[in-house]
Amino acid sequence: MRKSVALRLASIPAAVLASMGSAHAALDTAVTTAVTAATDDMKSAVLLIIGGMVVFWGLKKLGTKMGWF
């Protein structure tokens, strides 16, 4: 690969990171609060889903060991 192509390819992530930082700086405090609240809600939902799957798996495993299924 030529040096100029490699140099252009290496500059792409730097440009993306620079644009992300400036876009985040313009957010309003209400938007930041809403994003934080949505993040907390999503974490709770994911934990409930994973917990339900673990309970289902445990009951299925127990059922096969006990001869229920």
> Residues 6 or more apart from 63 whose CB is under 8 A from it?
69
Spell out the domain ranges in the chain. 3-66
pTM over 0.75: no
Per-residue pLDDT tens over the stretch 14-64? 766 666 655 556 778 898 899 999 999 999 999 999 999 999 999 999 999
**Is residue 63 a contact partner of residue 69, using CB atoms and an 8 Å limit?**
yes
